[in-house]
Structure 1
């Protein structure tokens, strides 16, 4: 972009000769290439919030939240470390109300206008849970003016925070939450909600209530339902202390001279886990990281060692082994020597993936790619099942429930990640009887074909996959009668919208058991009258992955 501007301006200046006296003639300009480069360079901006004191006495004051934000600000502003162009710190009472924080987020949105700007938003505060006006359980950050008895109206809802965060134009954005929602540590729950959650089984705390935004990173000081702790010896929030430690260079695992966001988080996660003896496990929600462009400290001044990494929830809890040696537990990453390596993903005694890979200096290999290459993402299935109209009158007047065979082609992660393109062809033929009048049977022959296209969403857990989503199908039905009252045929052809769902169980690398069901709505004409009817079909069979 900079070179293009210089070329255009240079051409315009050359075209305007010094002797030109015509109205509107161009004036030669002297361009400072350094100044122009600085004007188009991406900016590095941070908004850090530390809330230690609260107006409502029900909230316990925190000892180090303000210091957490101040210490991180020093690391990010340091010319030898973060080199951030602008770091705004909110820690004074008037700066940490809900209104002031939202105003600062909106000001940040007006300042971070370029897609390649680096933006960091950090919160160190209490967290809590409460039910909103619709009775849904939501997460909240406790601002200075949050009222214990009116959390939804006075605290900063995580949904609202994420909505503001999502509107940042930058593709390189990081949200760090040094808080928790477990009811202890940097958290407090209303007593009635704490009593309610006591009776809920532990699965309630299995995952966050929100999904992370596209092209963004969200780091949390602890996993969902765990406690984020301050430590008197460290004089900081534990996770924040080790995050700052990582920015000093300790987190540069690939030795390229820079500490990226994921490197800093992985360092802080491992150190926090060890420091708390496993009671606090920082978590990360990361989408579309690509080459991890969020550099928090230092600068890339040499080619780094190869890295293997994954932050995909599908691989959480797996151990990464390289050449038989355990390197890290996922999510996370590890730097390895360049060359040909044996890479394994294991959980207990089971091995999910074992592959030989060639990695060179500077490579960053997402482990999901190995998973996709190991397990083919296309499947062709032969299925059998039943077809039936939903309402009784259609089964009487059109076609009774009948067996059918089907062939289904499923393309996983097409056209988008975690979606499938699903194509299926089904049909049946035979003879049935209509019971139009009690005691009277009308025989007929039929041929029925259906061609469907769906794009369901995929949920995957090791060998089990579930999918559900929209489907459109073309339905063709032909009936032929040969009775005294009528000899001839009838044909129907309609396009039908509906939904599809299915279950897949992988038996091995190639074979799978699969079942699928669809519910469709169509329009047919019977005896001159049109009507909307529903039909459904369910199949089960064997698939081959290729």
Structure 2
């Protein structure tokens, strides 16, 4: 042991001796020369794809699909092609042992371990049956039919779309795309249990709420058909129809702005329009994209030049509107169109209604979201003059404090503040008059009153063309003063309190400037009456006309 200690001390002394250091070295550290090109390559973003085609099923109740495997293989060939997708890694799962529920989840989790860089481009694709079933809580859910899915135990054996989306959202990449070449309509690439099919047959078309996929910037979910429609295979194309045109777009046909690359949104728009035309409107591919900006998910080619300007929108609020530029119809939303640079007249129309007509200057390479034009064109502030009633909720307070009383109100509403879909609402209301307290049967005490309330709220807003609804939390200050002139008592009382509560309202736009609006609120407060404290609720309801500015 002593010999070992002496040897270690000798080695340390040699390493720390002045002769072992070059001039300028700090602490004996040896400088390392790093190849900058190799370092850049090591940290460069990668392009990864996981493609799943489920054609065969263990349960004979699921009919085999003819082209699901070919869909995945054909798309894989396009993504691997150095002249098109130039992806670094493309994994295709199509064999029965690869397309079970457990195998697909394992592959997604492996992809999460590989796509670790925020700028990695990740594509996840599924061509398979889709179905609907009620989960353990009785809620209707969407499922991807895997090879081992049982027709009589869908919720227990198939892959829930919610779980699939959760795995997709956990990918570290900020540039990710999921494509679902499947449907849940009960026909085409879908099959429903008889009892569920009978139940849904009694529901009017359009009942289904379109599922809103929560999407972050550059996180996109594309579907081969709209909610409740049928995704189809075609013998002539020998592919899923949407997948066929998606691959066609990667060959360069989808490069609408002519910059040399096909982005995810360009490929989807090309496949959407082509699928709609091929199926004569029976199949409408959909996309859930909350915010795209400059689409960074390049699926094919390279951006080697500045592209033409683009106008686009994938906001569900604008679905079904037609984009016109200089009087010429360009596309139906959602989607986008490339336009010549310069000064252009942009219109959004639906039938005879014109939502927007604006002259804009758009430059080469610019991508202009149509929502920005709407926010710049339409006033987002309004001031309303309203009349209504103020009342305590319980009968005792109305009898002993103040009966329901008329009042006037001013309401200032600032839309999309502090965030999109939120509003700031400030209100000032008050009333003055004479009332009677009913303290005992057949007995009334006259008094004069003054009420004043100031409130602030941050409600969430829902919009459908001319109609807006909002609801959210509110805080308000209430001042109440009463004066009595009776034989038994002459004098005044006053109360002041700050109270929490909720607010709700509805707005109907009559034009660009005028609107009709109504608002109601419910508050909870604490007052002292005759020396006794009590919690009471009070509410107000107003309606009137507003001016947007």
What's the secondary structure of 1:106's corresponding residue? helix
Check the 8 A contact 1:464/1:504 in 2, yes or no. Answer: yes
Equivalent position of 1:374 in the other structure: 377
What's the secondary structure of 2:72's corresponding residue? helix
What's the secondary structure of 2:38's corresponding residue? helix
- 1:265: how far off? 0.2
Matches within 5 A, 1:146-545: 146-205=149-208, 207-215=209-217, 216-545=219-548
Can you list the C-alpha shifts for 1:257-287, whole angstroms capped at 9, x where unaligned? 1111110000000110111111111011101
Q: Which one has the largest radius of gyration? A: 2
Equivalent position of 1:51 in the other structure: 54
- 1:457: how far off? 1.5
Assess, with a 3 A threshold, how the Cα gap between structure 1 residues 46 and 528 changes in structure 2: closer, same or farther: farther
TM-score (norm 1): 0.94
Check the 8 A contact 2:385/2:410 in 1, yes or no. Answer: yes
- 1:229: how far off? 0.3
Equivalent position of 1:10 in the other structure: none
Check the 8 A contact 1:130/1:137 in 2, yes or no. Answer: yes
Is the deviation greater in 464-473 or in 215-224?
464-473
Check the 8 A contact 2:212/2:288 in 1, yes or no. Answer: no
Check the 8 A contact 1:212/1:218 in 2, yes or no. Answer: no
Matches within 5 A, 1:105-144: 105-144=108-147
Can you list the C-alpha shifts for 1:69-103, whole angstroms capped at 9, x where unaligned? 11111111222111222222221211211111112
Root mean square deviation of aligned Cα: 1.6
Among 6, 14, 18, the residue aligned to 2:22: 18
What's the secondary structure of 1:301's corresponding residue? coil
What's the secondary structure of 1:243's corresponding residue? helix
Is the deviation greater in 105-114 or in 147-156?
105-114
- 1:17: how far off? 7.8
TM-score (norm 2): 0.93
Structure 2: how far apart are the matches of 1:404 and 1:340? 50
Can you list the C-alpha shifts for 1:323-370, whole angstroms capped at 9, x where unaligned? 111111111110011111111111112211111111110011111112
- 1:147: how far off? 1.1
What's the secondary structure of 1:103's corresponding residue? helix
Equivalent position of 1:9 in the other structure: none
- 1:66: how far off? 1.2
Can you list the C-alpha shifts for 1:125-180, whole angstroms capped at 9, x where unaligned? 11011111221111111111111111111111111112222222222211111000
> Structure 2: where are the runs of 5+ without partners?
1-19
What's the secondary structure of 2:387's corresponding residue? strand
Structure 1: how far apart are the matches of 2:249 and 2:367? 20
- 1:21: how far off? 6.8
What's the secondary structure of 1:365's corresponding residue? strand
Equivalent position of 1:7 in the other structure: none
Check the 8 A contact 1:159/1:210 in 2, yes or no. Answer: no
Assess, with a 3 A threshold, how the Cα gap between structure 1 residues 376 and 195 changes in structure 2: closer, same or farther: same
Is the deviation greater in 212-221 or in 480-489?
480-489
Equivalent position of 2:30 in the other structure: 27
Structure 2: how far apart are the matches of 1:122 and 1:530? 64
Equivalent position of 2:9 in the other structure: none
Is the deviation greater in 368-377 or in 245-254?
368-377
- 1:465: how far off? 1.2
1:100 counterpart = 2:103: yes
What's the secondary structure of 2:502's corresponding residue? strand
What's the secondary structure of 1:36's corresponding residue? helix
Structure 1: how far apart are the matches of 2:94 and 2:538? 61
Check the 8 A contact 1:138/1:209 in 2, yes or no. Answer: no
Assess, with a 3 A threshold, how the Cα gap between structure 1 residues 102 and 488 changes in structure 2: closer, same or farther: farther
Structure 2: how far apart are the matches of 1:378 and 1:18? 70
Check the 8 A contact 1:448/1:476 in 2, yes or no. Answer: yes
Equivalent position of 1:4 in the other structure: none
Can you list the C-alpha shifts for 1:223-271, whole angstroms capped at 9, x where unaligned? 1111000011111100001001111111000000111111000000011
Can you list the C-alpha shifts for 1:174-197, whole angstroms capped at 9, x where unaligned? 111100010000000111111111
